[in-house]
Structure 1
């Protein structure tokens, strides 16, 4: 199974993106410069949902 390593722009940790995941194609083709790990992605999503209902 192939994987790429990317740097999370939020927590600055290196995380692996495995083949078959939704972010794999983005990391492989480097369509964007900024990547976010699953933990930070979940935190950001929950914070956005909380602020939406205010």
Structure 2
């Protein structure tokens, strides 16, 4: 199985993107795009959700 090793923009750790995933396709099309690992991606997503609901009230 093919994969790329990419450095996370937030935590600076290497993670693998395997063939067939969306991140693999995006990395193959544009190598200069910013990528995040799964842990950082979920943290960013949860912070965005919390801030969204904070401003609704």
User: Which TM-score applies when normalising by structure 1?
Assistant: 0.89
Which structure has greater helix proportion? 2
Partner residue, 1:17: 17
5+ unaligned residues in a row in structure 1: which ranges? none
CA distance in 1, matches of 2:30, 2:4: 11
Deviation >3 Å, runs of 4+: none
Compute the RMSD of aligned alpha carbons. 1.2
How many residues end up aligned between the 2 structures?
54
Structure 2, gaps ≥5 residues long: none
The equivalent of 1:2 in structure 2 is 2
Once the two structures are superposed, residues 6-50 of structure 1 have per-residue CA deviations (whole angstroms, 9 ceiling, x without a partner) of: 110000001100011110111112254311111100100001000
